[in-house]
């Protein structure tokens, strides 16, 4: 049986695992990156790519997004594969004055962390984006935001990690772990084992199953999002666009599911980006349907109808394809990032819901800090993996029964 030795063994080759591998390799660690499939086979290859700070909840999530956004361009410059990072800026479109009121405290919070936000009335909004509907009330513009091709970004980070000495094992699924004295002693893989000083779990929506192999609870559940891709054509927008109502769909699934409005019930929130190929990627929905990645006629119909209302030119584009991805959702709406107190040499980075593309860079930097014994620059204690009761305990059983 072959034994592979490493400083850091990472499970999961999505954008989060790839970023952790890249950052750790950059700091000189000997890294092994393992995935049951291939890079970006999970959610990171089935999503859109806003590097958006204005959609984040004030507090820690906003702080992480600002930090990640700040380091994104520098990391992109270091990579040899172009991930199509485009600092286009974002527009939060306001459909009616009531939305404007609801956004007031959100904008104040953004400004308090140094994010420039500029209100555009209808006339100025149309000067920036002439294809927007004149029925819209106005828009908040955030000029520092960007979009990236998430699939290419994941591949670029993996390539960057490999160039810095990382070994990759694709189509490799851990069969189990040997533990000893509260630590992982080895990861068992088909035909061999990996013996590492430290391990990182970055398994996205599959985290719960992986966590249970070492007796910890990582309650990440899939939240499906559907997207429409159009053929290349005249780009109907320069900025990425997002509806103010998108923030509601994201933040309050309970209210959305209780609503009699079918758009709310399927968690619809309008967003549109024009990618480097000149295609529109239009979203999106939010639904808890297990691991079902099918698209629905209702979801696609609502996505297109709502897009045409805001950007009438979308009616003249051709739909190329539709697809769905699974956001890694955690019930307390926070990702899980940090060192496990129950398995001493285990780090976790998972559960980024609709923010993993944006937060990937700061997450990789934090995990590399922890793996090299440095204190991260941001206090991540609220994100600890220890906030969930271990599987099989009375507390965990009660929670599972309620759910």
Minimum Å gap between C-beta 157 and ligand FAD is: 10
Position of tokens 């700040």? 70
C-alpha to C-alpha distance for 287 and 285, rounded to whole angstroms? 7
Nearer to ligand FAD, 55 or 345 (CB): 55
Alpha carbon 385 to chain centroid, angstroms:
18
Stretch that binds ligand FAD, among 28-36, 156-164, 255-263, 313-321 (CB under 6 A): 28-36
Under the binding rule (CB under 6 A), the answer on residue 218 touching ligand FAD is no
Query: Does residue 44 touch ligand FAD according to CB under 6 A?
Result: yes
Q: Closest approach of Cβ 147 to ligand FAD, in Å?
A: 8
| Residue 49 binding ligand FAD, by CB under 6 A | yes
Instruction: Give φ, ψ of 28 to 5 degrees.
Output: 90, 5
Helix runs in 205-269, H state only: 207-212, 244-251, 253-258, 262-265
304 near ligand FAD, rule: CB under 6 A:
no
Residue 41 interacting with ligand FAD (CB under 6 A):
yes
Q: How far is the CB of 325 from ligand FAD (least distance, A)?
A: 3
| Residues whose CB falls within 8 Å of the CB of residue 294, separated by 6 or more in sequence, listed in order | 324
Could you say whether residue 43 binds ligand FAD (CB under 6 A)? Answer: yes
User: What is the nearest approach in angstroms of ligand FAD to the Cβ of residue 122?
Assistant: 26
- # binding residues, ligand FAD (CB under 6 A): 44
Least Cβ distance, residue 71 to ligand FAD (angstroms): 14
Helix, strand, coil percent values for the chain (each to nearest 5) = 35, 25, 35
C-alpha separations of 283 from 25, 48, 247, 304, 377 in Å: 35, 8, 13, 8, 34
* Token output for 155: 């591949």
The answer to the question of residue 357 lying near ligand FAD (CB under 6 A) is: yes
Which residue, 138 or 335, is less far from ligand FAD as judged by CB? 335
- In the list 21, 29, 42, 54, the residue contacting ligand FAD (rule: CB under 6 A) is 42
Contact (CB, 8 A) for 242 and 92: yes
Out of 328, 338, 364, 385, point to the residue binding ligand FAD (CB under 6 A): 328
- C-beta closer to ligand FAD: residue 121 or 253: 253
Burial class (CB in 10 A: 0-12, 13-18, 19+), 69: buried
Report the candidate in 189, 162, 169, 165 with the shortest Cα–Cα distance to residue 177. 189
Tell me the β-bridge partners of 176: 188
- Please tell me whether residue 356 binds ligand FAD under the rule CB under 6 A: yes
According to CB under 6 A, which residues from 155 to 214 bind ligand FAD?
Answer: 173-174, 202-206, 210
Q: How far is CA 368 from CA 31, 53, 199, 294, 399, in A?
A: 11, 23, 11, 36, 32
The verdict on 284 binding ligand FAD (CB under 6 A) reads yes
The residues, ordered by sequence, that sit 6+ positions from 21 with a Cβ below 8 Å of its Cβ are 8, 10, 31, 33, 157, 158, 161, 166, 364
Strand partners, 329: 221
Which of 219, 283, 299, 338 binds ligand FAD (CB under 6 A)? It is 283
When the beta carbons of 345 and 363 are compared against ligand FAD, the nearer one is: 363
Question: In the complex with ligand FAD, which residue's Cβ is closer, 160 or 225?
Answer: 225
Among 4, 6, 8, 15, contact with ligand FAD (rule: CB under 6 A): 15
| Site for ligand FAD, rule CB under 6 A | 11-17, 34-37, 41-44, 46-50, 173-174, 202-206, 210, 225, 227, 283-284, 325-328, 350, 352-358
């Amino acid at each position: 049986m072959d034994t592979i030795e490493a400083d850091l063994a990472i499970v999961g080759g999505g954008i989060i695992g790839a970023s952790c591998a890249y950052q750790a390799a950059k700091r000189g660690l000997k890294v092994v990156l393992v995935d049951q499939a291939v890079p970006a086979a999970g959610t990171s290859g089935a999503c859109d790519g806003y590097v958006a700070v204005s959609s984040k909840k004030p507090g820690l999530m906003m702080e992480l997004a600002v930090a990640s956004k700040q380091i994104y361009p520098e990391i992109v410059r270091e990579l040899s594969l172009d991930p199509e990072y485009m600092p286009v800026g974002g527009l939060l479109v306001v459909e009616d004055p009531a939305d404007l009121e609801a956004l007031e405290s959100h904008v104040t919070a953004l400004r308090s962390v140094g994010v420039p936000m500029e209100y555009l009335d209808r006339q100025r909004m149309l000067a920036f984006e002439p294809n927007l509907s004149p029925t819209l009330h106005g828009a908040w513009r955030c000029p520092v935001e960007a979009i990236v091709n998430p699939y290419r970004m994941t591949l670029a980070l993996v390539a960057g990690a490999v160039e810095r000495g990382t070994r990759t094992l694709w189509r490799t699924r851990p069969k189990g772990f040997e533990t000893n004295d509260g630590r992982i002693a080895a990861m068992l893989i088909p035909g061999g084992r990996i013996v590492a000083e430290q391990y990182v779990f970055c398994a996205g929506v599959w985290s719960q199953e992986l966590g249970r192999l070492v007796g910890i609870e990582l309650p990440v559940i899939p939240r499906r999002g559907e997207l429409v891709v159009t053929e290349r054509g005249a780009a109907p927008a320069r900025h990425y666009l997002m509806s103010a109502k998108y923030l509601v769909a994201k933040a309050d699934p309970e209210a959305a599911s209780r609503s009699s409005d079918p758009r709310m019930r399927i968690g619809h929130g309008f967003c549109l980006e024009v990618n480097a190929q000149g295609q529109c990627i239009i979203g999106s929905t939010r639904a808890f349907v297990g691991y079902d990645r099918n698209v629905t006629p209702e979801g696609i119909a609502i996505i297109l109808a709502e897009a045409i209302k805001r950007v009438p030119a979308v009616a003249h584009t051709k739909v190329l394809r539709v697809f769905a991805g699974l956001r890694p959702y955690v019930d307390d709406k926070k990702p899980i990032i940090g060192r496990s107190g129950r398995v001493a040499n285990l780090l976790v980075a998972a559960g980024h819901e609709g923010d993993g593309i944006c937060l990937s860079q700061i997450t990789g930097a934090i995990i590399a800090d922890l793996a090299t014994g440095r204190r991260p620059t941001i206090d991540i204690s609220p994100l600890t993996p220890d906030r969930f009761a271990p599987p099989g305990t009375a507390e965990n059983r009660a929670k599972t029964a309620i759910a």
